[in-house]
Chain A
């Protein structure tokens, strides 16, 4: 069903006994192959090379060995950006998925107007990555923003949520959680696949709502939860626009929303320190790779495949 499942099942499939058609195959694949080498693999190798150099776009790259990487070890701002990114990923992704799952389960129980609710909950996923919504967030969580105006009505005195370093990241977490609609739609599709006879059998045996959820829904949904988890983590590690716009491009206040990607942009395109930015990009790739691999490894212990 999914790209991940597809990747896992590649080994098992036997090739069908069809005649090879190399010329046509490669002709149809030509644009993609060209893109793969020119736009993806070529630049990947180039950035690997650049990560061992000092390069400012004007002078030729100068080989400096591992200097960029040792510099990363002592770069306090980089360490801070890692902390910020990890906090963001590991708070917002579980929250987002929990809400997505909860609403999917509620909607799946045959609520009238389900399609309408699904659309309404899904809409923020489409809007969430836009600059316009980031601008809105800047206002809503500002000192005189919508949230504080509402809090004022009930007599609570708010504060500048975005200008306070202790809550600025929280506003971005809220923004990511707000886009729970797309994992919710994936959960809904997964819930449809669960045969209703399981529930009927459990009801006959006297299982209650909670028991049915924890003994049937949750185990059978673990492949989808896993899939959503992997994707949303990869996605969250790469977040850029919201932090950039909400903080006015600075990652502030006092670097509290300085995502790794923001710092990378700042080094590469703010200071034209392309060598260091490339080293950072590869480090990001390694982090994402490690977490994805760890996810796959851990999945053996909690993901349940019903076949």
Chain B
């Protein structure tokens, strides 16, 4: 900030253009705040609209609430086959299973790639990087056939088991990057103290890679919570619906009266994502900046 002001004063003195140098930061702020407001306005409006009587969604573009009503939430919560609690719990199970799976399997693979020397390492590493870019559609049909033969349709297994096998290779890459930044001397010291590979991983590497684990947790949380394609395909029984699949059920009843409750439940579904963003944005931003994905 100080260099900026300094530069501003210098230019002012040199050229005599006092006004623009003073006004520029203000203009920038107005433009930035304006675009931020335009971007987020629809979301804010959705939150406000969900607290109004249903039909006002089609009349009031403003974001002032005169009387706050939670009617939409009460109705929306019970509008589908199951109370919304059920869908939230289902989503929670899938999300927690996915987080656990990713943390265990990706950190193991990452340790191997970052620290161990073994035959064919470069080859597997290249395959791992390529698999990050593989479209899910190429494997979804046979996966569906495989999981339906195993009797896993309408269970959470097709959504969780792949994570236990590190199929989210993006996180393997993220963790490899992180482990490479941990000084090898620490491994050496532990080895001299008599630690094997396993205990170096558990006692040295894992505790030091907590930030990478946190990034993985938050991204897995948000992506799995939002994921629609997989959950749409594997979960067809309303008892097993997760939040995104359940929300889709609202769309089939498009009478204007249901929009209020649809908005309310949409807001409910966004709250966990928003909280994860608030608590974890430090890790999120760092995660994207260091690996450059999503």
For A282, list chain B residues within 8 Å (CB). Answer: 138
CB under 8 Å from chain A, chain B span 86-140: 104-106, 108-109, 111-113, 116-119, 121-122, 124-140
Q: Give A220 to B2 CA distance when docked, in angstroms.
A: 26
Q: Shortest distance in angstroms between A43's beta carbon and chain B's nearest beta carbon?
A: 4
Is the CB–CB distance between A245 and B248 below 8 Å? Answer: yes
Task: Label chain A's interface by main secondary structure.
Answer: helix
Q: Give A128 to B131 CA distance when docked, in angstroms.
A: 24
9-residue interface stretch from B66-74, B77-85, B206-214, B281-289: B281-289
For A113, list chain B residues within 8 Å (CB). Answer: 29
Is the CB–CB distance between A292 and B133 below 8 Å? Answer: yes
Is the CB–CB distance between A29 and B109 below 8 Å? Answer: yes
Is the CB–CB distance between A178 and B39 below 8 Å? Answer: yes
For B247, list chain A residues within 8 Å (CB). Answer: 131-132, 135
Is the CB–CB distance between A231 and B293 below 8 Å? Answer: yes
- Tell me if A207 is interfacial: C-beta within 8 Å of chain B: no
For A35, list chain B residues within 8 Å (CB). Answer: 105, 162, 164-167
Q: Interface extent on A, as a size class?
A: 35 or more
Select from chain B the residue with minimum beta-carbon distance to A180: B39
- Tell me if A300 is interfacial: C-beta within 8 Å of chain B: no
- Tell me if A194 is interfacial: C-beta within 8 Å of chain B: no
CB under 8 Å from chain B, chain A span 105-153: 106-107, 109-113, 117-127, 129-133, 135-136, 138-140, 144-146, 149-150, 153
Q: How many residues from B make CB contacts under 8 Å with A?
A: 108
Is the CB–CB distance between A31 and B109 below 8 Å? Answer: yes
- Tell me if A6 is interfacial: C-beta within 8 Å of chain B: yes
Known: A126-B277, A189-B289, A237-B135. A7 touches B112 (CB 8 A): no
- Tell me if A251 is interfacial: C-beta within 8 Å of chain B: no
For B226, list chain A residues within 8 Å (CB). Answer: 126, 129-131
Q: Give A3 to B252 CA distance when docked, in angstroms.
A: 41
Is the CB–CB distance between B109 and A24 below 8 Å? Answer: no
Is the CB–CB distance between A186 and B289 below 8 Å? Answer: yes
For A20, list chain B residues within 8 Å (CB). Answer: 117-119
B165 contacts which of A25, A31, A146 (Cβ < 8 Å)? A31
B145 contacts which of A122, A228, A265, A274 (Cβ < 8 Å)? A274
Task: Label chain B's interface by main secondary structure.
Answer: helix
Q: Shortest distance in angstroms between B163's beta carbon and chain A's nearest beta carbon?
A: 9
Is the CB–CB distance between A241 and B119 below 8 Å? Answer: no
Select from chain B the residue with minimum beta-carbon distance to A45: B142
- Which of A46, A119, A126 counts the most chain B CB atoms within 10 A? A126
Q: Shortest distance in angstroms between A38's beta carbon and chain B's nearest beta carbon?
A: 7
Q: Give A55 to B234 CA distance when docked, in angstroms.
A: 19
9-residue interface stretch from A10-18, A63-71, A80-88, A210-218: A10-18
Q: Give A118 to B169 CA distance when docked, in angstroms.
A: 27
Is the CB–CB distance between A47 and B141 below 8 Å? Answer: yes
- Tell me if B45 is interfacial: C-beta within 8 Å of chain A: yes
Q: Give A166 to B114 CA distance when docked, in angstroms.
A: 51
Known: A16-B117, A36-B127, A146-B42. A28 touches B138 (CB 8 A): no
Known: A24-B197, A136-B46, A285-B138. A241 touches B109 (CB 8 A): no
Select from chain A the residue with minimum beta-carbon distance to B198: A24
Q: Give A123 to B248 CA distance when docked, in angstroms.
A: 22
Q: Give A43 to B138 CA distance when docked, in angstroms.
A: 8
- Tell me if A89 is interfacial: C-beta within 8 Å of chain B: no
Select from chain A the residue with minimum beta-carbon distance to B267: A132
For B251, list chain A residues within 8 Å (CB). Answer: 135, 138, 245, 248-249
Is the CB–CB distance between B136 and A186 below 8 Å? Answer: no
Q: Give A15 to B291 CA distance when docked, in angstroms.
A: 23
- Tell me if A42 is interfacial: C-beta within 8 Å of chain B: yes
Q: Give A106 to B24 CA distance when docked, in angstroms.
A: 12
- Tell me if B259 is interfacial: C-beta within 8 Å of chain A: yes
21 CB contacts below 8 A, A to B, read: A3-B291, A25-B116, A29-B124, A31-B104, A32-B169, A36-B131, A42-B146, A44-B142, A110-B1, A110-B3, A129-B223, A130-B228, A135-B250, A149-B61, A182-B294, A241-B244, A244-B232, A264-B137, A274-B141, A281-B135, A288-B133
- 20 further A-B contacts with Cβ under 8 Å, apart from A31-B108, A42-B142, are A7-B129, A20-B119, A22-B118, A28-B111, A40-B131, A46-B142, A47-B142, A109-B28, A111-B28, A111-B32, A113-B29, A126-B276, A126-B284, A131-B228, A135-B247, A139-B57, A178-B39, A182-B294, A264-B137, A281-B138
Residues of B within 8 A of A (CB): 1, 3-4, 25, 28-29, 31-32, 35-36, 39-40, 42-43, 45-46, 57-61, 104-106, 108-109, 111-113, 116-119, 121-122, 124-146, 148, 162, 164-167, 169-170, 172-173, 197-198, 201, 222-223, 225-226, 228-229, 232-233, 243-244, 247-248, 250-252, 254, 259, 262-263, 266-267, 269-270, 273-274, 276-277, 281, 284-285, 288-294
The 9 A-B residue pairs whose C-beta atoms are closest, nearest first, are A35-B165, A25-B118, A132-B266, A46-B142, A43-B142, A189-B289, A28-B112, A149-B61, A32-B109
